[in-house]
Structure formats: structure tokens, C-alpha cells
Amino acid sequence: MDNVSLIRIEAGDLNDAKSVLTVFVDQNKECYSFQNLEKDNVLDRLWTVVFKLLADPRNESIHELCLKCIRMLSRDKTNLDKFVNEERIELLLNFAALIGATADKIGSVKDFTIIVEALKCLCNLAFNSMKVQAICCSNGTLDGVIRRLRMHPDMNLRHAVKYFDVKLLYILSALSPDIRPRLKEELHALTYLMEALDFILKEGGGYSHDNQLQYFPYLDDNAVELSCEILKVLFNLTIKILRVGTDEEDERADRLLTILRELLLSSTPPHLEKELHKHIINLLTNLPVSSYEMLMPQEEVEYNWEAIDVIINFLDYKLSSNEGKSFETLSPVLKVLTEGSQFHKVLRKHVRNRVLPPLRNVKSKPEEGDTLRNKLCRLLTSTNTKLRDAVAEFLFVLCKENVGRMIKYTGFGNAAGMFASRSMLGEAVANAEYSSDSENSDTEEYREYKDQINPVIGCVEPKRTNTALESMTEEQKEYEVMKLVNAMDKLQREGVIQPCIIDADGRPQPVEHISQLQEELPKQQL
């Protein structure tokens, strides 16, 4: 966009404006910076003329083009605040049908393209400008989005409108925490968001994408993407709120957990499955642990562990991926499983059986292999202390916070960092013999090799042979020993080292000659 082209738009000829803006949009589809337009004040003038064209109903034929231009310009946050004001935001809200005459009649609107483009503009502006955030939080934006949430069952409401509505709500609730209480208490956003998820699940029906009857719904790409955005908003609105534990909050949490369980068990496109699970698990970290029982409903005498297994499988997936060593990635799922296991005895038992099953392979180190236990034990020596501590806490809870059992499954060397941070090293040594409770679950393989297991490395230590000594005669061994004694004696006489023995009071006492060490050895061992 140069000065000449801009003059053509400012002249007011609609055809010229359409031609110039079309070229600008086509050339800048992947552009995120427009600093090259600062010369001759082109950027400021472009913002002004585009909004002027947009405000005139007679220019309806190029309104979509104007909105595309604004969407691209709004990607550049540099000096963005000077190009926006309440009047311009209100104009975009009208085109997005969030306020104004079309807000309650959106289901009958024929062309949703304009609405979606306006919503994209608002999302970009709200994300990149604190000024726009403040404007949207004080005008009718939030009311309009919540009103449209209630319209989700309307079959005429397009997916793109729903998606960018919720995306705008997510951006505002994430970047403007002060609005969260109003969204929750005055606008009842939690209720409407849960109803939106309910509708998505019901719309998924009882059939999979290949028309095979199944109990849990199939969610297509659109349904999963919209669900993820809703879950992100719910996460923002439940931070430090639902963990209070009032009767109303507990009831709402139970309902939400029921929905989350159905989402966990729904059939989804493989490329989106883990993304959906990630956002569900993130949200679970905000919910009261007492409500986790909704994830494992009791059916007659047994519990249904399908949803819990999905969460455990997600942990396994993350441990196997390139993100496995990231605290940010693993922290939510570890938190959910750790706190759930602490609160629910039956949950701890099930998770332990999946993560720390009875030991059978006692000849390999705990960190060697591809099982969940192996992958977690490898992280116990991670240089990332936050991740190491989170993994150690999880395993320690599964071991019922029993030091001996922790050593049994992880090896003392791997768990030493946790024992040291908790000042439990002495207790770890004292509890080297495992509790009777842990022995009851010992396998035949473990009992067979138990006496040969080195508790430091957590497995049977292979026998080592000293090939150098084995090839020597007794005379050669004696000769090498004397060389060593003479070398140590020389170091002592030169003051380099000072060998000592321990006296009756437990204090070190220097020896006069190195040979005294051999004479005193039986006493020292005793």
C-alpha cells in the first residue's frame, strides 16, 4: 500500500477502493507487521478510511473486504491503541451481531461471513490491545457473547460464529481477570458454558463417524475445536473458585465432572484427541478433588475406570513424547492423579496397579525400560527440580508414603533427591526393610531374588569380576600390595595425607606408620 493507492481509496470511488483493498488483502495474508506503512502517515490514514467505508451502509459490497483488511492490520500490536476507540469497537460489535438490532435475530441472518470476519477482528484487537480489552469489558460485549451462548441449540447458528464467540470470551477472561466474577455470578457463564458442552455431546449422537452404534458420542473436528475453547474459558472462570466447597459449588462441580467424563470417553479424530484431553485435565486441576468420584462411577459392586484410564494413558503418551521432560506439560496430569490418589483410596489402588504393578523384572534398573514406572523413574534424577519433585510426590503417594516401598520400586539412588529435600535420608536408611504390607504383594520373581537386590540401584546387581587380580599369582598380588603400602607411607611422610584410626571415643587419631592401619583393622571393623 503506497500513498498513491491510498489517495485512490480516499477519493471515494467504490470501484477504486475495492480494487486497492483486494490487492492489499491478497498481498498481506501472511503479514504480521506493517511498520513499512508508517511513511507519509499511510498506516493511520488506512485505518481511518477503512472504518469510514465500513460505517457507510451504501458500501455494503466491500464491507467484508474492509473487515479482512482490519483483521490483518490488527495483527500488528505496535501503536495499536492509537488506531482504536470505543466508536470503532462498537461498529465491529454491530457487524458481529453482538449488539444492535441483529443480535437477537442472528439465526435468520443469511450471510454469516461478515459476522465471522468481525469476530476475528475483535479477537485480534482484544488479544493485542489492553485498551480494547478495557472497552470490551465495559460495554455490551460480554452480555452479547453470553446471550449467544444460550442460542447454541439453534441449528441455524454456524459453527464459526460459536467458535469465535467463545474464543473472544476466552481472550477477555484470560487477559482481564477482573471480569471473571461478573461472568460467573451476574451473567451465569458457567451454567451456559456447561450447557454448550452438553449440547455438543448430544449433537454428537450415539453413532461414530463410520455409522457404528456406540454408547459415547463421536465428536468431529468442529465439535472438538469448540469444546477445547469452552474448556479454556471454564478453566479461567474456575481458578480459585470451585475449590471453596460450598454446596452450590460442589453440585456444579459434580455436574461439570460428569460432562468431562463423557468428553474423555467420546470418540474423536485421532489428531485432536490429545488436545481435547489436555484441556480436560487442565480444568480438572481447578475442581474439588472430592468430585473426582464422578469420573469413576460405581456400577453395582465395581467401579468404572474408563475415564481414569484415559488420564493415565495421557500421562504415558506425554512421557513418551518430546514434551515429556517439560514440567508445564506434565504438571497438570501429575497433579490430578496425585491429589486424586491422596483423597480416594480406591483411585490410588487402581492408579498404583497401572503405574507400579507388582515387581516381576528385578534384574533391570527401575529407570530402564518402557513401562510407566520406568519412564517416571528416569525423571527422578531430572535436572528440572520442579518436575523431579512432582514425579517423586506422585510415586510416593502411590507407595502410601512408605519409604521402604518407595525404595523398592524406584531404588534408593533415584529417590535420594526426594528423601534429602524432605529430610528423610535417615528414615530411608532405617526403613530399608520393606513393610509387611508391601511384602504381601511380592511376586514369586521378587521373593526369589529379594536378598540379591541392591536397594541403591533397585535391582539385582550383576556379579563383578576383577579380571586384573584373577590373572595374578599370589606373589604378584603381595608385590602390588607392598607397592601400595610404600606409596602411602611416602605420602604420609611428606605430609600429603594423614591416615587415621578411630579411638574408643569415636575420634580420629593419626597413625605413626601406615602398617598400623592393618594391625587395627579387626578392631575398626568390630
Cα angle at 261 between 374 and 152, to 5 degrees? 135
Q: How many CB atoms lie within 10 A of CB 267?
A: 19
> In sequence order, what are the residues at sequence separation of 6 or more whose Cβ sits closer than 8 angstroms to the Cβ of residue 201?
217, 219, 259, 262, 263, 266
Q: For the chain, list residues with pLDDT below 50.
A: 206-209, 211, 213, 242-244, 432-439
Return the closest-CA partner of residue 47 out of 27, 30, 72.
Answer: 72
Distance (Å, whole) CA 410 – CA 421: 16
Distance (Å, whole) CA 518 – CA 526: 14
> Would you say 148 and 96 are in contact if contact means Cβ atoms under 8 Å apart?
no
DSSP 207: B
Specify which residues 508 forms β-bridges with. 502
| Predicted local distance difference test score (pLDDT) of residue 522 | 60
Return the closest-CA partner of residue 289 out of 315, 235, 250, 237.
Answer: 250
Of all helices (H) and strands (E), which one includes residue 469? helix 467-470
- Computed over every residue of the chain, the mean pLDDT equals 86
Which set of grid coordinates corresponds to residue 455?
536397594
> Would you say 510 and 516 are in contact if contact means Cβ atoms under 8 Å apart?
no
| Predicted local distance difference test score (pLDDT) of residue 207 | 45
How far apart, in Å, are the Cα atoms of 183 and each of 237, 308, 394, 460?
8, 31, 35, 59
Specify which residues 303 forms β-bridges with. 298
| Predicted local distance difference test score (pLDDT) of residue 449 | 67
Distance (Å, whole) CA 409 – CA 402: 11
What is the tens place of the pLDDT at every residue in 333-376?
999 999 999 999 999 999 999 999 988 877 788 888 899 999 99
Question: Measured on CA atoms in the order 152, 263, 299, 248, is the torsion positive or negative?
Answer: negative
Burial environment of residue 287 by CB neighbours within 10 A (0 to 12, 13 to 18, 19 or more): buried
Listed in sequence order, the DSSP H helices in 176-246 are 180-181, 189-204, 221-238
